[in-house]
Structure 1
Amino acid sequence: MTDVLLIWPPHVPSYFNAGHHSPLYMVAGYLRRQPATGRVDTCEAGTLSMNWKGVGDLLHQGRYDVIAVMNDFDAVDGLERFIEYARELSPDSRLITFGRLSSLNHGFFRQFDLDAVVQSGDYECGVAEYVNTLSRSGPPYIPPAGLPGVAVRQGEGWLEPVGHGGRLDPEQWVLPDIDEIPYQDYDRFYARDEHKFCGIPFRRELVVPAARGCPVGCDFCEVPEIFGLRERRLPVDAVIGYIRDSYDRHPFEYVAFYAPTFTLDRRWVRELCERFIEGPVSPRWKCATTIHHLGEELVALMGRAGCVRISVGLETLEADGQGGLPRSKRTEERKFCALAEWCDAAGIELNAFIIVGLPGTSAEGTARTIERARSVGARVRPTMYTPFHQMTADMTTQQVARFNRQLISGEAAGNATADGSAPRPEADARYAFLFGREDRLTSVHERIPQRTAR
């Protein structure tokens, strides 16, 4: 039997979205169902609640056969230090990494002292392939000829994956075990709305990973490349059952649906809403989608079913900037204003994602987009344009860490300063949108009843 630790290494997050952390627990749940797996533990050391001494204790005392390290765009800062701790304190452990960054820039991870890298497919499939292979091989863990979606170290080189990694049907997903998630730490991140993190302050969130994959195909989004252009979605019954069970066991106050384009399947959304209206499961909830996949009737139904926030990718209202967007994401101002009216009538907060530095846009145009969105009552969440396709395997940790949707990255980063020391006016103007003072805070928590004290 193979004992496994799944860990998010210590680092200071540049952004926090609890949904991005759910794969840690879904991979753990999936491994627990594998016959060759023994003990499976999880550790979120990236929520600012754990020090390196605590990590060292875990590694030294746990003596895991496999340590699966979750990676992300901004979680690489502590990776090298974590690997050093793992090699020193648990020298017999095999180290594999999985996550959004290794799925987009897997070559970057080959510079580190890792034994395997999940490069493609669902994370559960890649980690399970490696763990199951080690269990069959036994010490000294003779690697196979190759694994689907996983690169395996062999001496000084690497065995390339044999084909693309596997993808699970939604019925095979194992939703997160709420008993092992540090919600008190999540609450801390969401308490300050001026940071514009995705959660709702002063209320506890249950994340429901409802769908994977997206056919929209934005080039600044990682979802299609990692999870495919075909959407996979949980059955409504499974969603209802998970919410009911979670609310019975823990004082959650609203649901966050983690799906790239929540209203892509309108029939599914209507069924879910009708079930919420009928009860007995009737939570407050929020979701993210596109303007194109919404309509007045659907928004009204969502409001009656308990929806309190809809987030949409407005991106920009500048005509020159919209030319590079997929056709379904090119938004006319009148359509956005109409959506704002629908949301207001339905009692739903409209949250507009806006991209700063999108090719074809200007700082002045971005300011106009933000002001227009606010003028119709929308909450605005700006992020920096991040050209993931410009990442390369030979980048340093510092270079890769810039691809965090907050700093200017890629080719633009090389021009961010005029003399190597002071930001150019253009860069400074962009950063003002993300890091300037924010005094327009949400009040949507007032629409969500509080449950028993935590």
Structure 2
Amino acid sequence: MKVHLINPPSPGDFGFTREGRCMQKEGVWTTTWPPISLTESAAVLQQKGHDVRVNDCSVEGVDTEKLKGILKEFAPDLVVMNSTTPSLNFDMTMPPLIKEVLPTAKIAAFGIHVGALPEESFALTDALDFIVRGEPELTIVDLADRLEKGTDPSDVPGLSSRLNGTIVHAGDREFVKNIDEFPYPAWDLIDLDNYTLPFSGRQFLMVTTARGCPYKCIYCVAQSYYGKKIRMRKVPKIVDELEYLGDMYGVKDFFFWSESFTIIKKAIKELCREILRRNLDIRWVCNSRVDNVDRELLELMKQSGCWMISYGIESGVQDILDGIKKDVTIAEIEESIKLTRSVGFQIAGHFVLGLPGETKETLHKTYNFACSLDLDYAQFYCASPWPGSEFYRMAKAENWLASDNWDDYEQDKSVTNYPGLSAEEITRFRNRATRRFYLRPKIIWRTMTRMKSPEEFMNFLRMLKAFLTWV
């Protein structure tokens, strides 16, 4: 069976990442992430003998007219599209467009939003046939297998189906216990030149180290996609993949993809030692909670090629951190940032403005806290109550939502009105905070000294253009 996996065109004049919990414009990091969910699903489909094509349209410059031409040329039997909350309205214009070109093709959507609100998502277009809920790979391949055999797929675990105008929800699919069973992502189906690091312009790829997160942060939607239980890959398997990607594609830069990379410190120390033992010449970045690092771990990470760590800090106010169930303290944040700097990393801090309990005073406290930390990068987001999160359920129950238009559920725009603090005020503060942070002489100096060649300066100008879409 021919299966076409797509990230739809961008909903605006910018690159757009659709990847699990990450639903964001290119301007957030001035780059777009490689589509690991699409390529992992493609690899599983190929393993079962299906003919697969992948298009990451927003990165490839594929608009709706070009997509129609690609669909007509490939003529797939099944089209599977990734979708996110802020791009949902645009994404749901794709099924009618696909049916216009391929009237008999079946169309499925996956992603956190459609999985959390399948009934509402089906209601947006009559042309959508299926919704994949939760972890997508096995549900997609089971759907393709059933369609190829001509048998009813409506009882496939994790699948919601439209049958003769009626929506049928099969039971939930259990999360894959051993994620090492998956083949490597089919990166050969996309153009890797489209995925490059800021400044250096080097190609990079994402490598999954684990899935699942046991923490209870109310704003996060990761558990609805990958579950609460941590499923760690075996260290030799991860390093085998790093070697394979270097040999096959010549890629030496990686983003280790997991909900919190350092959550099992013993395993990550083992991973670093195995990278060193095999003498791999690689560079990599990761995310982490501040309470999951120590000096031994950081030094091993640095020795094995890690050059930047992104920390989820969220707020500079302890009461807000407690209210969102972050389970960290201001002291832990300060200590970990100092420790990380002392080992020699670049550091990114992520801050979420407009969380429950936010006031005008706490907004300023969080900004001042961000400036007091020795960070290289700070990302200021507006708290977005995405379906699938506890925050969304709270916002609906408390009547905080300022909009029911999913286009507004972007991380650069607030949609929550609180007593004494409006969504518009949160958005304006977030924009000012971003500009002010990066216009400080210390940050400007660090940014300029990172550029080592004319090529990196030209990359910086491209980054600046993308970044302006974010502020």
TM above 0.5, yes or no, is yes
SS of residue in 2 equivalent to 1:6: strand
Letter in 2 for 1:345: S
Output one character per residue of 1:66-97: Cα deviation in whole Å (capped at 9) or x when no partner: 00111123332432332222111111100011
1:300 — aligned with what? 299
- Retained in 1: the 8 A contact 2:316–2:370? no
Match of 1:50 among 59, 62, 72: 62
- Retained in 1: the 8 A contact 2:112–2:133? no
Letter in 2 for 1:261: S
Output one character per residue of 1:328-351: Cα deviation in whole Å (capped at 9) or x when no partner: 3x222x322222222122111121
Alpha-carbon offset, residue 447 of structure 1:
11
SS of residue in 1 equivalent to 2:50: strand
Output one character per residue of 1:145-195: Cα deviation in whole Å (capped at 9) or x when no partner: 5221111111111112134355352122233233233333333xx54xxxx
Structure 1 position 184 matched with structure 2 position 190 = no
Distance in 2 separating the partners of 1:154 and 1:412:
42
- Retained in 2: the 8 A contact 1:308–1:348? yes
1:387 — aligned with what? 385
2:351 — aligned with what? 354
Alpha-carbon offset, residue 377 of structure 1:
1.8
Distance in 1 separating the partners of 2:227 and 2:343:
33
Q: Which runs of 5+ in 2 are unaligned?
A: 17-23, 454-471
Alignment of 1:203-282 (within 5 A): 203-282=202-281
Alpha-carbon offset, residue 213 of structure 1:
0.5
2:341 — aligned with what? 344
2:329 — aligned with what? 331
Distance in 2 separating the partners of 1:445 and 1:274:
31
- Retained in 2: the 8 A contact 1:370–1:380? no
Letter in 2 for 1:57: G
- Retained in 2: the 8 A contact 1:308–1:444? no
Output one character per residue of 1:403-429: Cα deviation in whole Å (capped at 9) or x when no partner: 23222135669x857xxxxx4x45422
Alpha-carbon offset, residue 38 of structure 1:
2.7
Distance in 2 separating the partners of 1:164 and 1:276:
34
Distance in 2 separating the partners of 1:173 and 1:400:
33
- Retained in 1: the 8 A contact 2:179–2:231? yes
Alpha-carbon offset, residue 444 of structure 1:
11
Output one character per residue of 1:266-324: Cα deviation in whole Å (capped at 9) or x when no partner: 11111111122333213121111101111122222222222111111111121221221
Structure 1 stretch displaced more, 436-445 or 158-167: 436-445
Output one character per residue of 1:85-144: Cα deviation in whole Å (capped at 9) or x when no partner: 211111110001112222222223211221110123x2012212211111222xxxx534
SS of residue in 2 equivalent to 1:366: helix
- Retained in 2: the 8 A contact 1:290–1:313? yes
Structure 1 position 433 matched with structure 2 position 443 = no
Distance in 2 separating the partners of 1:144 and 1:214:
30
Identity rate, percent: 18
2:166 — aligned with what? 157
Distance in 2 separating the partners of 1:90 and 1:168:
37
Output one character per residue of 1:172-229: Cα deviation in whole Å (capped at 9) or x when no partner: 2233233233333333xx54xxxxxxxx653332211211100012111111122111
2:71 — aligned with what? 59
Output one character per residue of 1:365-422: Cα deviation in whole Å (capped at 9) or x when no partner: 3333333333332121111112224379xx9x97123223222135669x857xxxxx
Structure 1 position 125 matched with structure 2 position 149 = no
Distance in 2 separating the partners of 1:233 and 1:292:
19
Describe the shift of the 1:43–1:435 C-alpha distance in structure 2 as closer, same or farther (beyond 3 A): farther
Distance in 2 separating the partners of 1:435 and 1:181:
34
Output one character per residue of 1:1-21: Cα deviation in whole Å (capped at 9) or x when no partner: x11000111123342475572
How many residue pairs end up in the alignment?
A: 422
Alignment of 1:390-401 (within 5 A): 390=392, 399-401=405-407
Distance in 2 separating the partners of 1:307 and 1:284:
6
Structure 1 stretch displaced more, 369-378 or 304-313: 369-378
Describe the shift of the 1:434–1:82 C-alpha distance in structure 2 as closer, same or farther (beyond 3 A): farther
Task: Output the aligned Cα RMSD.
Answer: 3.1
SS of residue in 1 equivalent to 2:93: helix
TM-score, normalization by structure 1: 0.84
- Retained in 1: the 8 A contact 2:3–2:80? yes
Alpha-carbon offset, residue 238 of structure 1:
1.6
- Retained in 1: the 8 A contact 2:195–2:205? no
Describe the shift of the 1:341–1:437 C-alpha distance in structure 2 as closer, same or farther (beyond 3 A): closer
TM-score, normalization by structure 2: 0.81
2:182 — aligned with what? 173
Structure 1 position 135 matched with structure 2 position 143 = no
Distance in 1 separating the partners of 2:245 and 2:72:
33
Describe the shift of the 1:163–1:276 C-alpha distance in structure 2 as closer, same or farther (beyond 3 A): closer
Letter in 2 for 1:88: E
Structure 1 position 74 matched with structure 2 position 79 = no
Alpha-carbon offset, residue 445 of structure 1:
9.9
SS of residue in 2 equivalent to 1:78: helix
Distance in 1 separating the partners of 2:142 and 2:269:
37
1:289 — aligned with what? 288
- Retained in 2: the 8 A contact 1:357–1:430? no
Structure 1 stretch displaced more, 177-186 or 335-344: 177-186
Match of 1:402 among 402, 408, 420: 408
Distance in 1 separating the partners of 2:449 and 2:255:
13
Q: Which runs of 5+ in 1 are unaligned?
A: 192-199, 418-422, 450-454
Distance in 2 separating the partners of 1:170 and 1:426:
40
1:322 — aligned with what? 321
- Retained in 1: the 8 A contact 2:34–2:205? no
Alpha-carbon offset, residue 326 of structure 1:
2.4
Structure 1 stretch displaced more, 123-132 or 430-439: 430-439
Structure 1 position 116 matched with structure 2 position 130 = yes
Distance in 2 separating the partners of 1:114 and 1:445:
50
